[in-house]
Amino acid sequence: MKITRNRLLKLTSNLITLILFINLVMMAFLVVSSKASGGEPQAFGYQLKSVLSGSMEPTFKTGSVIGVKPLVENEKKNLKVDDIITYQDGPEKLTTHRIVGVIESGNNILYETRGDNNKSKDLTPVLSDNVVAKYSGFTIPYLGYFIDFSKSPAGSAMLLIIPGIFLIGYAGFSIYQTIREIDSKTKKSASNEETV
């Protein structure tokens, strides 16, 4: 089956339109999800967290995005050694480290944690109530830089406006090409009528 030039152009045009549209939808999702959750974007019940330090290398590289599953109260007390958890490490700070020990103290459970790249465990054990989520095993390298940028006001604007401008520009170009094609067909049929 021979593919004509027009058919190839139309296929390419549709593919570019689809890519731009998917890009616009993904950017809108990241920006809206980040704003709605007040921080990290969420998808399918998982939170996407940006890795901002090298304390967990080589498990996660700095700038990666990891998926964590938020935990309910009874799940927070059933964690074990080698689980990787995200916990509240101050009023505005979340940390993701590996559990290296479990301490039971009356009704409380404390977790000793350590970054995989750190030589010693963290100074203060983590109270189970301060555990926010558990690592799901999902990692995308380098996407964290992009998500952090998308959360800034300039990044939010750029990531929504630029793909939109490209989509509108490409739609305008497609309309122009279609009008040109219609004009050439009209001129061709008019010249054919004159010669008859």
From first to last of its 196 residues, the chain has per-residue pLDDT tens of 456 777 777 787 778 778 777 766 766 666 666 555 555 666 667 787 878 888 999 888 888 888 899 888 888 888 999 999 999 888 888 899 999 999 998 888 999 999 999 999 999 999 999 999 999 888 888 777 776 776 677 776 776 677 778 778 877 887 888 888 888 878 777 676 666 5
Catalytic residue among 34, 37, 50, 53: 53
What local confidence, expressed as pLDDT, does residue 52 receive? 81
Q: What's the half-sphere exposure (Cβ side, CA atoms, 13 Å) at 23? A: 16
Q: Considering the entire predicted model, what is its pTM?
A: 0.60
Residue 136 catalytic?
no
- To the nearest 5 percent, what fractions of the chain are helix, strand and coil? 45, 25, 30
The single residue listed with the structure tokens 């009356």 is: 106
Q: State the pLDDT at residue 31.
A: 61
| pLDDT reported for residue 156 | 67
Instruction: Report d(CA 194, CA 44) in Å as an integer.
Output: 64
